[in-house]
Chains A and B, each alone.
Chain A
Amino acid sequence: MSTIDLTSADAPVAQPAEGRSGRGRRGHSTARDLLTPGTIIAAVILGITILWALLPGLFTGHDPVDGGDTAALLAPSAEHWFGTDQIGRDVYSRVVHGASRSLLAALIAVGVGLIVGSAIGLIAGSRGGWLGEVLMRIVDVLLSIPALLLSLTIVIVLGFGIVNVAIAVGITAIAQFARLSRSQAVTIMQADYVQAAYGSGGSYWSVLIRHVVPNAISAVLALAVLQVGSAILQISTLGFLGYGAPAPTPEWGLIIAEGRNFVATAWWLTVLPGLIVMAVVVSTHRLGTALRKAAA
């Protein structure tokens, strides 16, 4: 997951607040940003994956957890698109059925990061003072611990299982969300309309809810889409290491881990599910980047 660099989370700060006037001028380029061939392919891939998660039965007729009498380690064929795994289960079917678990876990992870991280960031950014300092130093500490190490530690404390893995991955994402939403909040708090809102008798909380949150949300949501990709990757990593769903549950990381002993004889067990994970991660990342630019 280290290959996906999210340190540009503070990038919007670098843009001077152009005010609301910039919006109309950039409307056109926003649409063009979103309609490149790259984003369209990414959207299609993501769409198919979401359909896999919702309606796996439409895409495969094989049982993901019971291979019956099918031979083990069959090569990819018309009957078994991704071949069969080490105990004769259809790998494609396992990948399709695994989508719901991997995507759901990614959503939980991002949800945890989004809610907790944004709350910390917004309060720190809008309140400032010692509270802001303390909150952001905590975030700095979180940032200083490598994400995988942190999530491993949390999983060991919480116990194994896909939901716990999702929570652990979510906690590692808190820092990103906190920093982005803080920078948004700091910018917004200086805007004239916020001063005006205070002037007309608004309380801290009403200004936060009415003005800061709605204006900060688009950038934060764009980061959330970006984070889905890296969350899938992190969850698969933890699944690969054996901290995720117990067997025989189909889960992407676990599928790859179980196939890795057969790389030499049955490469498709790791390569094909690996390509799927890669495609989904790259797609969400592509979409996330495009949305971010549109929101900026």
Chain B
Amino acid sequence: MSTPHEGRDEHADPHLQHHFESMAQQYDSGKFGMWLFLVTEVLLFGGLFCAYAVYRANHPEIFAYAHQFLDKTLGGLNTLVLIVSSLTMAMAVRCAQLGQQRRLKQMLAATLLCACVFLAVKGVEYQHKWKHGLLWGTRYVAQGETAAPADAAGVVTTPEPAAAVPVPADGGTTLPHAATGPAGLAGDHPQDGHGAAAHGGHGSAGPAPRNVQLFFGIYFVMTGLHGIHVLAGMIAIGWLLRRASAGEFGPQYFAPVDFVGLYWHLVDLIWIFLFPLLYLIH
């Protein structure tokens, strides 16, 4: 193959692809591509933030009521775990840049461990929600007084399916029972339960508003998509760990560590916003 570009300044670096002239150009291209990819991630979550904002602005009572069922201590713990993992990831990038092979592996392993802890805590939270019917859409079970969030023994006694929604009993356009639409219209809805006032010191959110399932729908989509990103990040870090074990990274070639790092920090960044929006509603 005749190559017109002769001025390659790095002589035969095995990582330099044929169409680049230097490692710096290759690194810059990859990094720029990674940033553009992060942009798409920001927008992907941006859509969910938009859904959140629209419902929160129009139905604040749902959020004020429903957030009490989230455990903000666990959420806070997860925030701290992710911040630690971000630190270890940033350290890993540094180690790769300086060619510190052993510490690079340690840092990557620590990041992976933090990610596992994060998902485990998330799993505990999900399990709790599942047990109490704090779920989305038709699966939401109205919360009685016994189902206060901190009350682990609180078994929901009346698992009345809050919505057997599509009941085309008379042919199509019946208004389903729980389908009371956007709140704020005609407030004569039978109260499904009372606010879980047992929580914290400020839990006097009063009776349950309608459409609480919306909050849990948004909660599960946002945290679920974030969880999938954590999972993807874990796969990427595992891949890095394997390559680091083979000693592939060093001052001349650390781009993969750097790029996965950027991704991991973005996942952390998104959680930094999710945490107050979902858990810390006042």
- Genuine A/B complex: no
Q: Measuring CB to CB, which residues of chain B are less than 8 angstroms from any residue of chain A?
A: none
